[in-house]
Amino acid sequence: MTTRLHGGGCPPAQAPARPSSVRALQKYGRDGRPGCACGATAAPQESRALSDIQVGEGVARVAVLGASGYTGAEVVRLGALHPNLKIAALTADRQAGKAFSDVFPHLVTATDVPELAKIDDVDFHNIDAAFCCLPHATTQKIIASLPPSIRVVDLSADFRLRDTATYKEWYGGDHQAPELQKEAVYGLTEIFRSAIQSARLVANPGCYPTSICLPLFPLLQQQLVQKDGIIIDAKSGVTGAGRSPAESKLFCEVADGMHAYGVSSHRHMPEIEQCLSDAAGFPVRVSFTPHLVPMSRGMMSTIYVQMSEGVTANTLRSALQHFYDAEPFVKVLPAGTFPQTRHVRGSNLNLIGVSEDRLSGRAIILSVIDNLVKGASGQAIQNMNLVLGVDETTGLMQQPLFP
């Protein structure tokens, strides 16, 4: 299906085909949707092309559901100057009736946005697309109730796990929209680009899985690293824990130190393993420990791998550079150069560094992202750009903020 924005004049330029997406999707079904290791894929679903939706001058009317959280605010920040998005609805049930700038004063100049409203008060027949930034386990019924013409990028975890039994195991409740789950496309943009372009529902990846799967996916797919013995030591800024108040996020609980959390039980673990298993073609298990560090945003994943016979760190680096050569947001650094979280702050970039380990046959991979941008709202807009048929870099070419 070819999708493009409706409006006068020429359609927006399409992003050029990325060689990496072609290589990655060779493992998947003919429709490009990720399937299980046996090759099964979800059936494609029919949805109304945006060329059939009455939007003016190449602009899609979008709703941001759950706009009072950090990821919702980032969607508004990035979307306010997006030439093809018109923010037509903002929801936050507990903040309904307030101006958006009353909840997020730093966005006082984003004046062309509506007041916050309750979800039940939104007329979704006037909406073309939606970013769903609601908490986990609250999204399934809401998305299932939306008109089928609305394209959705869901930033929660509710549609990331293909197996609903796995979802129940890790999130503690039955999946409320199992039929819709079959339609969802996992939105790791650089890997599943072709499937995302024709999707009605995109499951935006989690922040940790994004920082981990982007470097590991091509290496496992090309059998350059072994599936066993992968160790991931990841660190996130406090915004990764969300905006809802909690004792564990108080200043005195977070400042002047760091701590591990979700040890051997973090909910991103099955998502990471699902993606890496798709890459390898057989089940992959990892040792993953996340940590909270006293900074507002940023994420670093330090990944330890056993290389395949005859492979060196230079081999890994060259393979990643080749795989991501045409990608605008994934950059593999030269030998001896390693990424820092401050080098991606506020941007949609993923920076990757590779080093030989002192232990024979092992390598260390460092991957950094801004957890709120490439790890959430920036990747969501990148995916929505693909769904809408506009260049996927639109609205996302901000340089990192430093110092």
Specify whether the CB–CB gap between 381 and 78 falls below 8 A. Answer: yes
Specify whether the CB–CB gap between 72 and 100 falls below 8 A. Answer: no
- Report the C-alpha gap between 268 and 271 in whole angstroms: 5
> Taking the CB of residue 36, how many other CB atoms lie within 10 A of it?
12
- Positive/negative CA dihedral, 44, 49, 53, 56: positive
> What residue type is 382 in one-letter code?
Q
| CA distance readout (Å), 147 to 52, 54, 142, 202 | 14, 15, 10, 16
- Report the C-alpha gap between 6 and 49 in whole angstroms: 9
| CA distance readout (Å), 286 to 136, 165, 226, 276, 277 | 23, 20, 11, 9, 10
Pairing of strands 259-260, 287-292: antiparallel
Q: Which residues are catalytic?
A: 207
